[in-house]
Structure 1
């Protein structure tokens, strides 16, 4: 196979460098599952989860205690998408722009759009999944956080949820939507004053904020409004103890939306804690599932369950809360009709793109490809800041 892509390497990496600077949301900060390299589209790959273990007393004796066995849990991750961004040129088209020296410039822009389009699709999938795999929420639905100058209690309260859930204190990430980012940048002068922030003007001059209250800060256009389910009249069917994640409901009045994954609920015995629905309910009665660690305060039989208003999420999490399974699209054994194939690694996001060139009759086609799937595996290490 001729190495026909070699001459395009500078153009490809110039385009990738532009896009890499934009990837500051979910993609670089979630866990990457290497076992997905062997998974076909539609095939489930199991990502292992090691459970918490109990301490034991140390007792001197001839042999150590017969203990230490664990049941290793897992979360299913499925490669759901295999996509390519196509670029095609005829000889006449190349000739028409080459005489003005524009071919390489246009091609670099096409590569940039290809990398950007695929990365945005992955980011959107991660954002849509993340809002349905958090534990609890803080804030007021429909009200953008960080509106009060000098008050970062929104971050403090989200940290409190993660602390109470036992999430690691290191490696925390906060991904904001555009409205929350605007308030943080516009209202909080303490973040761009060098004498207060300790940063030499990065926020003021370059719009960069790397760390804030233990969070690596990220931003995502994939965080869009969640429209709540329209069920009403739902009651707890039988008492539910603290720690319970599956809640049985009865006497529900539903329309086409019911109770949706991502809805925020409270119950009559606990109006303070806002729970994130991980698995919803479309029927008139049945079970919903909230994120781990479940109910903080138990619910009594016939407690009314209220669905919070529609909101735009901001998501806080640790790396092991979410999994991105990503690989290059599979080629048949022996290859296909591509004249050349190369892999391009984004050093920021870690995504590995496949670039394949196909020579056709008086034209050439280039494909930028990626296959991926996403999953939430540890809801107790994720929380939602409502907006």
Structure 2
């Protein structure tokens, strides 16, 4: 049956108009990769990552120097999720709601909830991937940033990490949770003054364009990270050096989890654990240690915190597509794509006619990955 979804288009766009106004800070802030979109579910796509280069002295000679080779690294990314939300009606339910004059509005709300469910799951996936793959952190765990009027230290602190790590400055993002945004609105009056901010965006629309080169975004997904139980661990490495990411630890007990903040005795840098403690070691985010550490230095696991995240757009990739169909298609009577202009997400809506009932699927497949940990930093809250 062709065009069985045509009469639903007004309901679908009514639902889309609502869902596009959810607080999605990460989805519009990350980059998209079309090569990943072409992959099958769980099929690996390797994205090349070029390492830093080194210079050499120019020395006159008969032949050109035999230099210039590099080993190009890569990051594996795949479409890891393919999900749908079902909206099902039977004939009696439909007739009763039509008689009451509420069927169309309720159906639109159910489609809205379906799209909202998928959007929120993608947003949470991106937040989790971002903060658990971060390089270092700035701020105090348990203290919401921007709490002191006219103090821009939190912007400057997280920006410094990105600058020290060599992140490009052309498209930086800062995604904040509710508490941090509330402090911006309540305490940072300079951002609301048109003569100081240079724009009326914060005053009129509640958000700014950029602060210190970072686009400010607000996300429902930003929430609390609960630390592991690890305590009394010591560094178990007599030759730890600048740039090391694998940290050997012994002498303690309990867990050190991905996303935990660790510090080492004698230095103040706050490193983000990317891979949990296992078999005597854990992994911190690249570029790794910024100062050499000493064997048996105490390792301290920081407190619980809310993970606001700053990053360069190209550091995180997201790929979305409709779920793949077999040759000849499946049992759907009709299917259509519905694109949300704000987030760029394209939902597939499919209808399946059954015995005395009909079911609609709101569905999407997606994959995500931090491909440059050095260009991601955490702002503790």
Q: TM-score range by the shorter chain?
A: over 0.9
Residue 61 of structure 1: CA displacement?
9.4
- Taking a change above 3 Å as real, the CA distance of residues 91 and 132 of structure 1, as seen in their structure-2 partners, is same
How far does residue 355 in structure 1 lie from its aligned partner after superposition?
0.8
Q: Check conservation: 2:207, 2:216, Cα contact below 8 A.
A: no
The separation in 2 between residues aligned to 1:128 and 1:373, in whole angstroms, is: 13
- Contact 2:80 / 2:366 at 8 angstroms: preserved in 1? yes
Structure 2, unpaired ranges of 5+: none
**Which residue of the partner structure matches residue 260 of structure 2?**
263
Aligned to 1:359: 353
Q: Cα 1:210–1:98, aligned 2, differ >3 Å: closer, same or farther?
A: farther
| Partner Cα separation in structure 1 for residue 281 and residue 220 of structure 2 | 32
For residue 275 of structure 1, what is the aligned residue in structure 2?
Answer: 271
Match of residue 341 from structure 2: 347
Shift of residue 219 of structure 1?
1.5
Aligned length: 380
Tell me by how many angstroms 1:67 deviates.
5.0
Q: TM-score, normalised by structure 2?
A: 0.93
Q: Does 1:241 align with 2:237?
A: no
Contact 1:23–1:348 (Cα < 8 Å) also in 2: no
Q: How far did residue 66 of structure 1 move?
A: 5.7
Q: Deviations over 1:111-157 (max 9, x none)?
A: 22111110000111111111110111010101111110111110011
Shift of 1:33: 2.4
Aligned residue for 1:227? 226
Measure the CA separation in 1 of the matches of 2:137 and 2:259.
Answer: 10
Classify the secondary structure of the residue corresponding to 1:252.
coil
- Structure 1 residues 236, 357: closer, same or farther in 2, change over 3 A? same
Residue 199 of structure 1 deviates from its aligned partner by 1.9
**1:76-91 equivalence runs, <5 A:** 76-91=76-91
- For residue 95 of structure 1, what is the aligned residue in structure 2? 95
Partner-residue secondary structure (3-state), 1:82: strand
2:349–2:363 contact (8 Å) kept in structure 1: yes
* TM-score w.r.t. length of structure 1: 0.92
Q: Residues 331 and 300 (structure 1 numbering): CA distance in 2 closer, same or farther, change over 3 Å?
A: same
CA-atom RMSD in angstroms: 2.1
Partner of 2:112: 112
Q: Does the Cα contact within 8 Å between 2:335 and 2:351 map onto a contact in 1?
A: yes
| Distance (whole Å) between structure 1 residues aligned to residue 23 and residue 347 of structure 2 | 14
Contact kept in structure 2, 1:266 and 1:306, CA below 8 Å: yes
1:210 paired residue number? 209
Equivalent-residue separation in structure 1 for 2:107 and 2:253 (angstroms)? 55
| Partner in structure 2 of residue 309 of structure 1 | 303
Distance 1:347 1:64, change over 3 A: farther
Secondary structure of the residue aligned to 1:380 is: helix
**8 Å Cα contact 2:23-2:220 kept in structure 1:** no
Does the C-alpha gap of structure 1 residues 251 and 192 become closer, same or farther in structure 2, counting only changes over 3 Å?
same
Distance 2:25 2:246 in 1: 31
Match of 2:187 in 1: 187
Distance 1:51 1:242, change over 3 A: closer
How big is the shift at 1:165?
A: 0.6
Tell me the equivalent position of 2:324.
Answer: 330
Question: Are residues 336 and 240 of structure 1, via their aligned partners in 2, closer, same or farther at CA, if it must alter by over 3 Å?
Answer: same
- In 2, Cα distance between equivalents of 1:305 and 1:197: 42
**Matches of 2:85 and 2:101, distance apart in 1:** 24
- Distance in 2 (alpha carbons) for counterparts of 1:56 and 1:113: 59
Q: CA deviation at 1:23?
A: 4.8
Query: Is the 1:173–1:317 Cα contact (8 Å) retained in structure 2?
Result: yes
Quote the Cα distance in structure 1 between the aligned partners of 2:62 and 2:8. 68
